[in-house]
Amino acid sequence: MSFKGFQKSIVRAPQQLKVKFNIGEHTKDAVYTDAERRFDELEKETKKLHDESKKYFEAINGMLNHQIEFSKAIAELYKPISGRASDPDSFKFEGNPEGIQACEDYEAIVRELQESLAPELDMIESRVISPADQLLEVIKVIRKVAVKRDHKKLDYDRHRASLKKLQDKKDKSLKDEKALYKAENDVEQATQDYNYYNDLLKEELPKLFQLEAEFIRPLFQSFYYMQLNVFYTLHEKMQGMSISYFNLALDVEEAFEQKRGDVQERAEALLIVHFKTKGLGRANSKLGSLKASEAKAGRGRASSTASDQPPPPYSSPSPTGGSFSAAAKSKPAPPPPRAKPAHLSKPVETVVALYDYEAQAHGDLGFSAGDVIEIVTRTDNQNEWWTGRVDGREGQFPVQPCGYAGIKPMRRRTQFLSGLHPTDIIYSFSFMTADILCFIIQEVTMSGLVHLINARLAHGDQLISGDLWVDPKAGVFVPPPNPAPLASVIDLQDRIMAPGFLDLQINGAYGFDFSDDIAGNYAGLSYTERYRDVRRKLITTGTTSFLPTMTSQLPERYHQNLPFLGPSPSRDPFDGSESLGAHCEGPFFAHNRMGVHLPDAIHASGATSEPKRVFETYGSNNLVNSDNLSKRASLRSIPSRVRMITMAPERSGALDTIKRLSQAGIIMSIGHTAATYQQSRAGIDAGATMITHLYNQMNGHHHREPGPLGILGGAADLNLENETRILKQAGDGEDSNVNDRPYFGIIADGNHVHPASIRLAHLMHPNGLVSVTDALLLLGGEDGTIDWLTRRLTKKGVSVTLEGTDIIAGSCVTLLQCLNNFRRWTGVSIPVALQAVTSRPAAVLGLSHLKGALTAGADADFVVLREEFVTGQTTSGLVVDQVWKFGVKVYDQSGQ
């Protein structure tokens, strides 16, 4: 405290006493008093949140450290048993070398477990403890303001009391008049100061409480999912522990009895167990003589009164040692040594099918609900496909429709630790740990199902009234359970329920471009932080999954950025919109169709698009392994961060690259091209399945040279069978896509493509239209001009152009806006329009079983929409009311 502050505290002391003992008049504000009470509670609970999170962090670490020390202690017990403690060079193993090895193996498992859990525990530090610290710092600042307000209140009351005293004085002297004038000025100043701080806190504290609610919700959800990951990892490691010393096929009690054998009886037969000292005194001591005589008399009485009792097994040793020799003769023969437990093979890992799955391609493994599938090979990602075996059949299967089998319910463990070998204690301890963790998992995850009722479900080209069941734990839709369990019931009140939107082409949003330099520091935020912020804002628009798109860049930028833009590793719903892999739009373009892309990057790519150059540009680590390019691989097995590539098919080597990468599972799209119809046709025949933003940066349609647009009508040499098939597709809404009719992206923002052209493309191939935004970092921003990479962009409404020109650079619309525009310009129904942003982009990516559908086993990503009619328009507009990710509501327009 400064000297000035000390002086003020002295001046305020009398007023503080009056407040404490309720003397005189005191200013009271009921609104502020209530806000202060809530703020005090917030401060206390935030501190508690911080402390308890830290304790949890330390408890998990402490538990693992204790397990390691536990195994060390067991191993150390064998040193005196084996003689190693007193004679380190001894080679006599009287202890249990197999048990010591088991201790070491157990310690290694726990240390490995520590390493596995380190990232999760670090996330507790970064996502819970650190944010709580930051909130505490904010609260400290606000607390200072509150203290300042209290001080100003004391000054206000103090000056008012002084003024009133002077005003009430009848005979005022000149000195009193001067004091009155000063007191009036003091009151005026004190009133201003007090009202400023009092009004500031009354106005701002409710906003803080609202922000605090938004802060706590994702923090709690993150902690919940991190806790689940910790428990699952602990349980999996402990349950799958494979140490041959332990017979894991036995129950703990049964294993204990088997290992203990007759060790307790043999121990009781040892002489030293029953040996007791008598505390005999010295021979010449009177006390010793007295005790000796009493002992002798006592023995005499015992023998006279209990002559039918056998003598004690051990008596005081005689000088000749006869009693020891007699005991040695009567010692029972030791039992035969126990057989070592058989070494068990590693238990077979299995999963149980929750739903039916029909094989989609050669090499897939089909199964029925309830089938137990033996896992042959697996990955750590349960969103991928594993190899399994059932009924003698082997193949790849999706993990999503399956659940782990063989997790036994927690059994009551009776503690029989006395008489156990030290390593047997580890065995019992390990099993009890695994069972306790299993119980914890069951308790923590007992969140129940969510039953959504009274909804209009988007299914195909219809809206069907019905209900759906969601499992928030697994993050998927589930079949209606029978009988229906207790669940959280949510009435959607006849609103539309549709799959979450998928955007296959979005370059950035909310002030962030995915092609930005990762080393840049933007307003103190890192690339990762800005990327996460964009995902969390993007999901509120209904876009639950997307392909972060990088425009044409030099190789170094791709190598740096693509590792951040690959498929999202987390299933935390509060991480925001999910990346399904990156879309590389460029730089392998026609040089006269580059648009606003960086000319240096396109020229650096040269005139060839051969596979080697493509791998060098994007980085081999970001694409599929080149060893797999010679054979066809399914999309689900790709370890690729790049999910889609846009390329001009007429470039040298492009057709070979398209063929090889598409066979490896990467989605190849033709775009930014000067290709003719035949060249475009060749690209589709080579394996491209998509056209990037149809009409834009490609040759226009001509009746003699239709260009890329012409291939929407099918192959030029159609026979009657092919023509019938294509017409059938257009007529019955079939969503499958044949090689001669690719999918195509449309930017329905009102600038890129005229509404009549959109209608034309839709009429040509209604089941191929995919709505994309091609949004730039100006999405969500104000009108104006900003820097973009090496250029400057101007935003006006939904239009984005290069500064000072009318050259279109991209858009700043959401998929919801594109969806409403598409409906208004084509007149299609709501469910048909929804296909362009849900099921169809999922089909492009080969993810129809996981995304873009409201079916059992698919990810529970969905939006709740309501219709809103606008004056002067014949069609209603759709508004996003709610967004759900992995079965958890992450956005509600009502704020609930």
* Helix, strand, coil percentages, rounded to 5, for the chain: 45, 15, 35
Token pair, residue 23, equals 């003397």
Q: Which residues of 720-755 are buried (b: 16+ CB within 10 A; e: fewer)?
A: eeeeebbeebeeeeebebeebbbbbbbbbbbbbbee
> d(Cα 591, Cα 674) in Å, to the nearest integer?
9
> d(Cα 887, Cα 12) in Å, to the nearest integer?
57
> d(Cα 34, Cα 32) in Å, to the nearest integer?
5
Give the residue among 251, 349, 292, 9 at the shortest CA–CA distance from 151. 9
Length of the chain: 896
| Catalytic entry in 774, 859, 861, 881 | 774
Q: What is the DSSP string of 122-145?
A: HHHIIIIIHHHHHHHHHHHHHHHH
Helix or strand (DSSP H, E) at 889 = strand 888-892
Q: What is the DSSP string of 870-888?
A: -TT-SSPEEEEEEEEETTE
> d(Cα 471, Cα 585) in Å, to the nearest integer?
37
Measured CA to CA in angstroms, residue 523 lies from 134, 511, 792, 793 at distances of: 17, 11, 19, 20
Give the residue among 457, 485, 552, 510 at the shortest CA–CA distance from 855. 457
251 is catalytic: no
574 touches 222 (CB < 8 A): yes
Contacts of 52 (CB under 8 A, 6+ apart): none
**CA angle centred on 813, ends 808 and 815, rounded to 5°:** 125
Give the residue among 668, 580, 654, 673 at the shortest CA–CA distance from 614. 654
Contacts of 362 (CB under 8 A, 6+ apart): none
User: Residue 528 half-sphere exposure, CB side, CA atoms within 13 Å?
Assistant: 4
Strands (E), 280-357: 350-353
Give the residue among 125, 195, 185 at the shortest CA–CA distance from 160. 185
> d(Cα 501, Cα 577) in Å, to the nearest integer?
10
193 touches 156 (CB < 8 A): yes
Amino acid at 273: V
Q: Which residues of 395-420 are buried (b: 16+ CB within 10 A; e: fewer)?
A: bbbbbbbbebeeeeebeebeeeeeeb
Helix or strand (DSSP H, E) at 726 = helix 720-732
| Omega within 30 of 0 (cis) for the link into 587 | yes
Give the catalytic positions in this structure: 774
